[in-house]
Amino acid sequence: MEEQIIRTEYSEIMQKSYIDYAMSVIVSRALPDVRDGLKPVQRRTLYDMHELGIRYDRPYRKSARIVGDTMGKYHPHGDSSIYGALVVMAQDFKMGMPLVDGHGNFGSIEGDGAAAMRYTEARLMKLTQDAFLQDLDKNVVDFQPNFDETEKEPEVLPARVPNLLVNGSEGIAVGMVTSIPPHNLGEVLDAVIALIRDGRMSDADLLKYIKGPDFPTGGIVVNQKDLADIYATGSGKIRIRGKVEIEKMKGGKECLVIREIPYTMLGANIGKFLNDVAALVETKKTTDITDISNQSSKEGIRIVIELRKGADPNQILNLLYKKTRLEDTFGVNMLAVADGRPETLSLRRILEYHIDFQFEITTRKYQVMLEKELKKKEVQEGLIRACDCIDLIIEILRGSRSQKQVKDCLVHGITEGIRFKSAKSQKQAAKLNFTETQADAILEMRLYKLIGLEIEALLAEHKKTLDNIAVYSDILNNYDSMANVIIQDLKRMKKEFALPRRTALENAEEIVIEEQAPQAVPAVFLMDRFGYARMIDPAVYEKNRQAADEQNRYVFPVMTDSKVSIITDTGRQHLIRMSDVPLGKFREKGTPIDNLCNFESEKERPAAVMPLEKLEQKNLLFVTAQGMIKRVEGSELVVTRRTIAATSLNEGDELIAVTEAADEDQIVLQTRGGYLLRLNVSEIPFKKKAAAGVRGIRLGKEDFVCDVHRIRPGEAPSLTLGEKTIALNRLKIGTRDTRGTKQK
């Protein structure tokens, strides 16, 4: 066979393949269908349980059997995803109305996982059986082949309730996410009934029925005023608080008892909440909490926070709302698959899709039922006619040689080959015109059906059939009749399955807590040559002064609420808050300065470290490796930004030192080549921080400034080079941009 090469753009193939993959994940795995509110794995699991006959009124079956059967027939994506979906559908703290009745350990509200599938059992809930799986035999929904085309599965379950709202949904697809809160079944059904009766209802009218989310964990929605906009757009944020009671304790103390938690605190977040409360005490945000204990059980949530005597419980409660997940945000994004594509839906659109679906499945149901009644009517009419001429039919049966002869006579009046007792009988037989179905029913009729009471029963059944045909035809041809059927079904389900609302709704003010800034205290800042910084108490420093001065490159007093300026060799200034520097013991290592500053690279190193508040009154001298010098007023560096450019540098240059410099001071520039240049500071010009400066010393080839020495009035500092000691105040005073003195 000759090779065929198809030339195409690689990017187009990748784009098409990725879009196909994304849509497969969106439609076939991650997002629920707006009609039944189920993801494919949930739908397949429930349908498989229905096929296995695991009804609400029958014994439980092992979860492993359900998972294995579902995976083998309908969902070839691994047992963990199927069992995970089964577990969630059985958890009453996650689902507004659980769809599976679990028996065994199906996890807890505190995040404990379910037992392995071989240990647990399950069956369908009555709600699931009545509201999701009824009438599948009446062709109410389309069926499609399974993954290997050996079975048929429903494209959607004929859900009688808007499950997308009742149980909500959460899922992450490719490039999109759905997050729909659960709602109260009774309220949702009331809204559906009202919208069926009056399709022109406003969104505000709908909110009279569906007042807001109804989370299975209860709690309080505190931004009720935002719900109208959230339901109109299909997205927004709902603020939820836990329900807390204040109880009296012995000794006049009080405690906060959390009875209901926000829906977002489910699972491991309860443990995180306990840790957050403990952290408030450890960080001194509050000293009024003396103990916290989780006393939750099967009876419900009970978290007790004990307060010290005289504490204000309302103030502590506000602190918990503000600083912990006792008040949290539920992000709403009502995204679902509608008409085969993902769409963000408003509350009205979800209800409208559900109502359209109800009319569709009801129409298909009654069409099937009508066809069935019409067939019964045909048979019944044939049997009634047969009873009126039973003697003739018996004569035909006795005079025929085969069943085909009898059937041809009954249907078409063909009498050839049949022996009749008289010509009159043959003439009557020729007039027979039963239908094929009626003829089959007559041939299968038993003789006891000729008893008088049986004939009366047949006539009564025929009347009932005619009544049913009239009712079904009216339902199919009259919108109001069909609407009334749907409404009566919804009312029945509300009466049987609806529960009282669990989540309260209110409008609460945003909590504002005025935090007192920690009191500033004196400390001593230490930074060693490796760049580790810490603070210690002044008294500790006095006891270890010699060791502190010897082991650290920078040592100076600070206040714990102050800032420190760090100017690096790249010419940038970084400000760090002393509140970010640990205040600890003398022997502690401290925090790397790199973690507190926005250093550009690992090679950036501090050239000067000094308290920020002292810069205002100082003049600073900048010296670079290429011999550039300048003076800058310290006030230029007193800024609020954490990182600024403290000076400009020529290409390849770096900052060697930044030091205080008064007019009466002198400096000595030292080069790597051994040159020393003594200058009066007063001769060095003031420049702005954005300037590069002026040349301080003329350098030889490959020579550079390696150090700067400051000479204050009355001081006599010295410098040791090799074996030679040089008195710096005896060096000849030079001028800028000269070579200086070579020290041999």
Per-residue pLDDT tens digits for 548-607: 888 898 899 998 888 888 888 888 898 988 888 888 788 888 888 888 887 777 778 888
Q: What is the pLDDT of residues 100-117, one digit of tens each?
A: 999 999 998 888 889 999
pLDDT single digits (tens) 191-209 = 999 999 998 888 889 999 9
Cα gap 361→734, rounded to integer Å: 102
Same domain, 376 and 453: yes
% of the chain at pLDDT higher than 70: 96
Domain-terminating residue out of 159, 193, 222: 159
Closest CA to 42 of 135, 186, 167: 167
| 606 assigned to some structural domain | no
**For position 401, what pLDDT does the model report?**
87
Q: State the pLDDT at residue 245.
A: 92
CATH number at residue 296: 3.30.1360.40
Same domain, 321 and 359: no
Give the model's pLDDT for residue 690.
86
Q: Are residues 280 and 390 in the same domain?
A: no
- For the chain, what is the domain count? 4
Asked whether residue 300 falls in the same domain as residue 396, the answer is no
- Domain around 247: 243-325
pLDDT of 389 strictly over 90: no
Minimum mean pLDDT range among 27-31, 288-292, 500-504: 27-31
Query: Residue 55: pLDDT above 90?
Result: yes
Domain containing residue 102: CATH number: 3.90.199.10
Please indicate whether residue 743 or residue 557 has the higher confidence score (pLDDT): 557
Contact 568, 555 (CB under 8 A): no
- Per the prediction, the chain carries an average pLDDT of 88
Sequence-distant (6+) residues with CB within 8 A of 509 are none
Domain boundary among 306, 325, 344: 325
- Lowest mean pLDDT of 36-45, 100-109, 352-361, 579-588, name the range: 579-588
Residue 3 lies in a domain: no
Active-site residue, 448 included: no
In a 3-state reduction of DSSP, which class is residue 77? coil
**298: CB partners within 8 A, 6+ apart:** none
The number of helix segments (H) and strand segments (E) in the chain equals 20, 35
Given 119, 209, 353, 366, which residue is catalytic? 119
β-pairing, 220-221 with 504-505? parallel
Residue 552 lies in a domain: no
For 26-63, give the DSSP string.
IIIIIS-BTTT---HHHHHHHHHHHHTT--TTS--EEH
- Backbone φ and ψ for 557, nearest 5 degrees, come out as -75, 145
Is 690 contained in some domain? yes
Residue found by looking up tokens 């099967």 in the block: 298
Would you say residue 209 lies in a domain? no
Same domain, 360 and 471: yes
* E-state strands within 353-413: none
User: At residue 731, what is the residue type?
Assistant: L
Alpha helices per DSSP H over 307-346: 313-323
Does residue 431 belong to any structural domain of this protein?
yes
Question: What's the whole-number mean pLDDT along residues 245-252?
Answer: 87
What is the β-pairing status of strands 606-611 and 628-633? unpaired
Angle at Cα 593 formed by Cα 590 and Cα 596, nearest 5°? Answer: 105
Which residues, 6+ apart, have CB-to-CB distance to 657 below 8 Å?
607, 608, 621, 622, 623, 707, 708
**Is 195 in contact with 354 (CB distance < 8 Å)?**
no
Tell me what pLDDT residue 723 has: 79
- What the block records as the tokens of 378 is 């045909």
**Model pLDDT, residue 490:** 95
Residues 703-720 pLDDT 10s: 998 999 988 888 888 888
In the chain, the amino acid numbered 616 is: E
Task: Of 498, 617, 477, give the one whose Cα is nearest residue 189.
Answer: 498
Q: Residue 312's CB: how many other CB atoms inside 10 A?
A: 11
Q: What is the pLDDT of residue 21?
A: 61
Domain presence at residue 463: yes
In the block, which residue shows the tokens 């800034």? 517
Residue 22 pLDDT > 70: no
600-639 pLDDT, tens digit per residue, is 777 788 888 888 887 877 888 999 999 999 999 888 888 8
